[in-house]
Amino acid sequence: MSSSETTGTAPQDARRPLVAILSGAGISTDSGIPDYRGPNGLWRRDPEAEKLVTYAYYMADPEIRRRAWRMRCDGPALRARPNAAHEAVVRLERSGTPVRVITQNVDGLHQLAGMPGRKVLELHGSARSVQCTRCKARSGMAEALERVAAGDPDPACEACGGILKSATVMFGEGLDPSVLGEAVAVTKACEVFIAVGTSLQVHPAASLAGLAADHGARLIIVNAEPTPYDDRADELVREPIGTALPALLERIAGGA
């Protein structure tokens, strides 16, 4: 992929820079989805909750799985709607600017906002699907939650009887190498790299910011708290994401 790729037919599109957006939990907090590592993040409030998304605990302990299914039933992810930040990313893409989203989130809100699925790389998978840990069959999360609501606290795979989990990358699991490889390629090719709502502490996703800078991209970090890559950034934005990101992306769409 080169920085001259085009998403539209107008000749001027070819001169627009490829913009890569790495999004983390902070972009979705305005949609009612809490972050995990911020000052009020879930892991700080309830360290035991991390076990519910740790593969070894999940596979070994039926009670952990039952708690995880209850968390999925009660969680806001499937009910959440895109917010102004997600919508701003879509507007940038529709302006003719080549855009690729690399997201650490599993909520699917970029796609719900209107970003084409092929332009969104979900590094940590999707909470909108479930996957069998034995036969790898996939199905919808909503269907699995219906089974839980009907009285099955730990639904098994209907194809082989294996343990079901959300189609997300749990702690202790590796990222999909093909998705990560595409993310690396986009990062190396982009001319603007925006890290938004991410602490840049979870690797390998966090290292993409440094990789972008190493390859000459303009690095912009939009995050309320300091990150390990702030000293590499060309621009730091501390204002609330819901207002700061739309303003930033409008400026980029205008050629600034």
Q: Which residues are annotated as a binding site for Zn(2+)?
A: 132, 135, 157, 160
Annotated binding site: 132, 135, 157, 160
Residue 126 and residue 104 in contact, taking contact as beta carbons nearer than 8 Å:
no
Look-up of token digits 């219906």: 146
List the 125-132 sheet strands across, edge first.
138-140, 125-132, 164-168
Structure tokens that stand for 173 in this block? 């699991």
Three-state DSSP at 64 gives helix
Whether 215 sits among the annotated catalytic residues: the reply is no
CA distance 181 to 183: 5
CA distance 61 to 84: 40
Catalytic residue among 86, 124, 203, 215, which?
A: 124
Structure tokens that stand for 236 in this block? 């730091």
Q: Any idea which residues carry the catalytic annotation?
A: 124
